Chain A
Amino acid sequence: MTAGAVPGAPRGAARLVLADGRVFDGEAIGAPGRATGEVVFTTSMTGYQEALTDPSYGGQVLVMTYPLQGNYGVNAVDSESGRIQVRGFVVRELTDLPSHWRSRGTLDGYLARHGVPGIAGIDTRALTRHLRTRGVLMGTVTSDESAEEALARLRRTPDYASGDYVAEVSTREAYAFGSGRDPAEGAPHVAVVDLGVKRNIMRILSGRGCRVTAVPHTASASEIRRLDPDGIVLSPGPGDPMLLDGVVGTARELVGAYPMLGICLGHQVLGRVFGARTYKLPFGHRGANHPVRDLRTGRVWITSQNHGFAVDGSELAQEMRVEQQHLNDDTVEGLVHEELPIFTIQYHSEASPGPRDTEFFFDRFLSAVAGGEALAAARERVGGV
């Protein structure tokens, strides 16, 4: 069937088969075919388009715990990258009849157009409880094979942990991020190492008056130096940071030369630069309601999160201090260098989706970029935020 074609038309059958043999029967949505990846859930109640297009979900099948999806359709402004990044999509209920003035089509049609299969109608809460207890695991959405066949196929599929997803989602060429507004003369220049960057990171930097250049994850330290940036952002992205020796090496070479900001995977990379190891969480942190405590002030921020790995703070170099912690499980949420302008956050201050309470964190980084004064002057000139 051509999914997403006729609103209200009956959907074909599909099933979700997990690597431990658990099967959920439901209806096929999105593109026909199979989708295999690590099955993860997010508890964010809004922002499905942002989540689908978030490169950090590369290699994963995404389960939305909120049951009603697609309510406001899909639009031209909410994408965080040029395509849908998830392998497959799992929901309780997908509407064919969205309502929003911005909407340009249904979520079903959007999945179909991007060739992403999905499944609807299943007990996503039962699935979530299963993933929470069992830990995340590989799974496949399928509509043309038996559960046994799917399981056998799944067992032959390489595990998520071995995949180099950053290579899949990173840009191949360096490019200047166009915000539609030319940065002013003398605006600070920020290089973003694209490990799977979300557009909103670049929008925020550019909105604060910066000139932004995205570079591939393979960019060497000297290539980056040649751009003559005033600061470097290591972006979020998918997969296991222990596989990213190349990026870690590049980052290590640049330490000390530039103010640096690491976000999510970028934070894990900088953690590794300063001697920490990373480890896999049982079912990750994915949602828009994660409390993070600032250890300096005791204040708690509600953050948007999407990560399956965390930094182990125990072997961290002395000069790197854990400044923020997850309130629920004490995992490391932010690092700061004692002397150098190097900051990291495990969560997503760029939100999109999620709360924007910590957007000020970009200002902290930018105040270190170009001594802060040049930036302030530049912002004055562009009349920015």
Chain B
Amino acid sequence: MAITLTENAAKHVENFIAKRGKGVGLRIGVRTSGCSGMAYKLEFADELASDDLQFVSHGVTVLVDPKSLSYIDGMELDYTREGLNEGFKFNNPNVKNQCGCGESFGV
């Protein structure tokens, strides 16, 4: 059971947290919404919740709540550039289908 970051993604997250000036890590989760049922949550984390699961990948702490983990276990987070746009990409092995843009998914 794990969530990992690519080296590139970890470098960016570290940089963002440093510039933001605070934060203990990255919070990843899912919630039910969107056209295909589930949507990712990607936030800065300022504190730990009591039931948080913690992963450390390339020096970055990733926090996940236990309910979310079953939907995203084994996922790898990458940071890529597509044309002018750049941002984080979720490579989630649990996904069975997703909406056209990939912002919401089903398992």
Bound pair (A, B): no
Residue numbers of B with Cβ under 8 A of A are none
